[in-house]
Structure 1
Amino acid sequence: MTHRDLEVYKVSMDLVMKIYELSGLLPTDEKFGLVSQIRRSAVSIPSNISEGAAKSSTKEFIRFLDIANGSLSELETQLTIIERLGLAKTEALLSNDIISIRKMIYRLKQSLNKKL
Structure 2
Amino acid sequence: MAYVESFRDLEVYKLSRDLSLSIFEMTKQFPNEEKFSLTDQIRRSSRSVGAQIAEAWAKRRYQKHFISKLTDADGEQQETQHWIEVAYDCGYLDTNESNDLINEYKILGKMIGTMINKASEFCR
How many residue pairs match? The answer is 115
**Map of 1:79-98 to 2, 5 A cutoff?**
79-89=84-94, 90-95=98-103, 97-98=104-105
In the alignment, the residues of structure 2 paired with residue 80 and residue 19 of structure 1 have an alpha-carbon distance, to the nearest angstrom, of: 13
2:40 is the counterpart of 1:36: yes
TM-score by length of 2: 0.87
Amino acid in structure 2 at the alignment position of 1:24: K
Corresponding residue to 1:77 among 73, 79, 82: 82
Instruction: State the Cα distance separating 1:12 from its structure 2 match.
Output: 0.4
SS in 2 for 1:32: coil
Provide the identity percentage: 34
In the alignment, the residues of structure 1 paired with residue 31 and residue 37 of structure 2 have an alpha-carbon distance, to the nearest angstrom, of: 10
Q: Which residue of 2 aligns with 1:50?
A: 54
2:20 is the counterpart of 1:13: no
Q: Which residue of 2 aligns with 1:110?
A: 117
In the alignment, the residues of structure 1 paired with residue 67 and residue 92 of structure 2 have an alpha-carbon distance, to the nearest angstrom, of: 35
In the alignment, the residues of structure 2 paired with residue 28 and residue 92 of structure 1 have an alpha-carbon distance, to the nearest angstrom, of: 24
SS in 2 for 1:25: coil
Instruction: State the Cα distance separating 1:41 from its structure 2 match.
Output: 0.2
Runs of 4+ aligned residues of structure 1 deviating over 4 Å after TM superposition are 113-116
Amino acid in structure 1 at the alignment position of 2:114: R
In the alignment, the residues of structure 2 paired with residue 28 and residue 88 of structure 1 have an alpha-carbon distance, to the nearest angstrom, of: 15
Instruction: State the Cα distance separating 1:75 from its structure 2 match.
Output: 0.6
Q: Which runs of 5+ in 1 are unaligned?
A: none
Cα RMSD for the two superposed structures: 1.4
Question: Could you give the per-residue CA deviations for residues 58-115 of structure 1, whole angstroms, max 9, x where no partner exists?
Answer: 22111100000001111111110110111123221012x1011011001111111466
TM-score by length of 1: 0.93
